[in-house]
Amino acid sequence: MSDYPIPSYAANIWIAGDLLWLGFPPIGDGVQAHSVSFPANERGLSLIIEILKSRRKGERMIGENGSPTRYQVERELVRDAKYNELLRALENSKKVTAEEAAEASAFLEELGL
C-alpha cells in the first residue's frame, strides 16, 4: 500500500487532551494549511465526519463545508455542553493566572524589586 497516492481531499487527524484536531493541507500554491479543533466527544466526531464527507465532494476552499474555519466550528458547537464546559475551564485558568500574576507583582514590590 505504500505506493498508493494520498487523495487530494485527505486531512490529518490527531488528539491532544480533550480536543480532536483536524488538519487541512494547503489548497494551492501560496495558501497556508490550517487546522481546527473539536471536542473529543460524540458531537465533535460527528462534525469531523460531516466535514470529511464534504471534502470528498470537492469543497476545499477555506470557509466552505469541507475546510471550515475555527470560528465556523465554534458556531456549530455553541450548544454543546461539554465544549462550553471546556471553554469555561480555559477561561477560569486564565483568571487564576492573572490573579497569581498580580499577587506575585505585589510580593516583588514588597521586596523592593
Distance CA 52, CA 48 (A): 6
Contact indicator for 14, 4 with CB cutoff of 8 Å: no
Distance CA 11, CA 83 (A): 22
Distance CA 10, CA 40 (A): 20
Q: pLDDT, tens digit, for every residue of 34-44?
A: 888 998 888 88
Q: Is the pTM of this model over 0.75?
A: no
Q: pLDDT, tens digit, for every residue of 51-99?
A: 888 886 665 667 776 778 788 888 878 777 777 787 788 787 777 677 8
